[in-house]
Structure 1
Amino acid sequence: MRKLTKLLSLGALALSLSVGSSAAEECIAPADPGGGWDFTCRTVGKLLYDLKLVENPVQITNMPGGVGAVAWANVASKRNDDGSLLVATSTVGITQIAQGRFPAGTDAMRWLAMLGTDVGVIVVPADSEFKTLKDLTDAMSEDPASVTAAGSSGAGGWDHIRLLMVAKAAGLSGDDYKGIRWVQFDGGSPAVTQMLGGQVDLVTTDLGEIAGFVESGDIRILAALSDERIPAFPDAPTAAEQGLDVTGYNWRGFYTGGDVSDEDYQRWVSTLNKLYDSKEWKAAAEGSGLVPVWRGGEEFEAYVLEQAAQMEEISRQIGVIK
């Protein structure tokens, strides 16, 4: 009887170890479904499983709030050493951190990799009175309060900063910035939906979040904040073509908990690198308007620190923080 009990105990231990080793990975999207972080988690999660880079389907969890701050706080307090966890992030998140809007600085987490960059766009309804970027900047110059803009970040966030960079290039000053009305939504898609309902005049966001609205003809790209025209939408002019030398890219990538082991960290970096090298990722990225770009491991950690410093400097220059 004692031998049987021992065998059952060993069997239970083996089963426990087996289940633990094949536990499903999870990706947290710190926003509602339909946004850029949601796209990042769902696309990468599906490809990881389809390409057999993970054993089980990746669980996708939407955790909106605070433009990423809620998910960040949850990981820091409850899952900081969870080696099965990915969290989607981007330039938007780094901007929030640089402005002190997250519970801690960049060193609180481990930065895994970026896989591509999204192009910032200024979009308006198809029947908008703004036909060119000059129409918009003229209206802002004449009466900043006459324009109501929206995006997926709060005032001073990356979407807002991109619009202010355009305003600055057009000759507006810090006082003018304060007059432009800004509305925040949890994602570019909800912002566009409200714009089509007449709640705001324009949306500044990433193309990947709202490409479907452009394809359907419901909205127009007033300006692409990119060096060159977007291959998927070649008719959309860049801001530079319209006389304002402004670009606003938003990279897509992942972090994990600050106490995750080196072994799990390197495993994720290697796995994501294999995903990036696949033709399936390149097709998915380019089909959604992303430009595939790889930075991983220590290189990405250094890049994040550098960008956080840049975002802090930009925020001070345009008066978002003191």
Structure 2
Amino acid sequence: MNDSRLTLMMACVAGLTMTAQVHAYAPGNKVECIAPSTPGGGWDFTCRSVGEVLSDLDLVPRSVQTINMPGASGAVGFSHVLSKRQGDNSLLVATSTATASQLALGRYPGSEEDVTWIRALGSDYGVIAVSSDSEYDSLQQLMDAMVDNPKSVTFTGGSGVGGWDHLKVLLLAREAGVEPLNQITWLASTGGGSSITQIMGGHVVAYSGDLTEAAGFLESGDLKVLAVLAPERLEGEYADIPTASEQGYDVTGANWRGFYMPGDISDEARQYWIDAMDTLYVSEEWQQRMVDSGLMKFHLSGDEFTAFVSDQVRIMRELSAEIGLLEQ
């Protein structure tokens, strides 16, 4: 190779390096986080607590501004992102399993492919529980009763028909061979607490919700948790609760929390925020926040998280169609 060609190649490499440096993303002074809920809710907590830790770890130059945008179980916020904020490299949006369930039901404009999925930062795990004096002492007993007669066990939880609490029951029932799924009785309530009150009053047989909602009633002895829908037994005070998997039902029900960003953000921005959230997740500050808020370990990021959400939406859509909420 002659000197002139070598010089030209070196110049091109140097130019590409400088271009990459010029276009490398760094967050500006205005990083925003949309919480598609009112102040005090789970999405609001996600925005505010993560924003504080991002600032504490110097991963953003200034504090993250939380914007509450409630409406239609997150649809208002999702629509705003699609119509007004596409390509915004400095906009985070709090998300959770509820987002996936609403996407599956077609209640958001667009689809999960229209936004950029960044990371999950923890989870609350689902539980199936009954009153402490219930005749059912195991998940298998409960499922066997439903196999014999799908209408024999009435369930309740804080979501409506087709919501995540309901879908967790359907996932278990399908795994157990209950047919038809649309014969299972689901009575929605205004929240986890009121659902558990129905159980304690003997009006409903079983509860599907999250462990953090049930924890106080479990400690008081009012509830009996038949299974936690975690991939393996939890640590600490809940280590005695068997998983559904170890009882023969390969079902995981994580109410995860995380973030998506607008579609069409730059590759550099996407990678920056994935790396930033990865750094945040392993930090002592975030690990303590998880303990304080009752969140448990759940870590998926980047392409793995994107594939997980896509698969979850697909499964939820299939179940919703099977019980008649969507066309097959």
State the TM-score, normalized to the length of structure 1. 0.74
Q: Label 1:306 to 1:227 Cα distance change in 2 as closer, same or farther (>3 A).
A: closer
Correspondence for 2:279: 274
CA–CA distance in structure 1, aligned partners of residues 216 and 54 of structure 2: 24
- Residue type of the alignment partner of 2:179: S
**1:23-64 Cα shifts (integer Å, max 9, x gaps):** 3532415477354x4443343233223333234443445544
Aligned to 2:226: 222
- Aligned pair in 2 of structure 1 residues 47, 202: CA closer, same or farther (>3 Å)? farther
Which of the two has higher C-alpha Rg? 2
Confirm or deny that 1:256 pairs with 2:257. no
- Seen in structure 2, the aligned counterparts of structure 1 residues 281 and 209 have a Cα distance that, compared at 3 Å, is farther
2:208 paired residue among 204, 207, 214: 204
**Conservation of the 8 A alpha-carbon contact between 1:276 and 1:294:** no
- Taking a change above 3 Å as real, the CA distance of residues 134 and 273 of structure 1, as seen in their structure-2 partners, is closer
Task: Give distance in 1, aligned partners of 2:49 and 2:215.
Answer: 15
Do the aligned partners of 1:192 and 1:203 also contact (CA within 8 Å) in 2? no
Q: Which residue of 2 aligns with 1:195?
A: 196
Amino acid at match of 2:227: A
Counterpart AA for 1:196: T
**1:132-147 alignment to 2 at 5 Å?**
132-137=138-143, 140=146, 144-145=150-151, 147=153
What is the SS of the residue equivalent to 1:120?
Answer: strand
User: Aligned partners of 2:250, 2:44: CA distance in 1, in Å?
Assistant: 30
- Note the aligned Cα RMSD (angstroms): 3.5
Alignment of 1:1-322 (within 5 A): 21-23=28-30, 25-30=32-37, 33-35=40-42, 37-126=43-132, 130-137=136-143, 140=146, 144-145=150-151, 147-174=153-180, 177-183=182-188, 185=190, 190-196=191-197, 198=201, 201-208=205-212, 210-211=214-215, 213-215=217-219, 219-232=223-236, 233-285=238-290, 288-296=294-302, 298-316=303-321, 320-321=325-326, 322=328
The answer to whether the 8 A contact 2:154-2:185 is kept is: yes
For 2:196 and 2:53, the matched residues in 1 are separated by 33
Flag structure 1 segments of 5+ consecutive residues without an equivalent: 1-19
Shift of 1:21: 4.3
Structure 1 residue matching 2:243: 3-state secondary structure: coil
Q: CA deviation at 1:97?
A: 1.6
Instruction: Specify the code of the residue in structure 1 equivalent to 2:72.
Output: G
User: Could you report, residue by residue, the CA deviation over 1:182-234 in whole angstroms, capped at 9, with x for unpaired residues?
Assistant: 3164xxxx322343255755432333555455456554422112232211401
Preserved CA contact (<8 Å) 2:153 2:185: yes
CA spacing shift, 1:242–1:271, aligned 2, 3 Å = closer
Residue type at the aligned position of 2:278: N
Q: Could you tell me whether the CA contact under 8 Å between 1:27 and 1:58 is conserved in 2?
A: no
Q: Does the residue aligned with 2:94 lie in a helix, a strand or coil?
A: strand
Q: C-alpha separation between the residues in 2 aligned to 1:31 and 1:58?
A: 17
Aligned counterparts of 2:56 and 2:217: Cα–Cα separation in 1: 28
How far off its partner does 1:180 sit? Answer: 0.8
Q: Which moved more, 1:156-165 or 1:76-85?
A: 76-85
CA distance in 2, matches of 1:218, 1:256: 41
* Aligned residue-pair number: 296
State the distance in 2 between where 1:63 and 1:127 align: 43
Helix, strand or coil at the partner of 1:164 = helix
Q: Secondary structure at the match of 1:244?
A: coil
- The two structures have a TM-score, normalised by structure 2, of 0.73
**How far apart are 1:274 and its partner, in Å?**
1.6
C-alpha distance in 2 between matches for 1:243 and 1:68 = 35
1:273-297 per-residue CA deviation (whole Å, 9 max, x = no partner) reads: 221231332343366242241312x
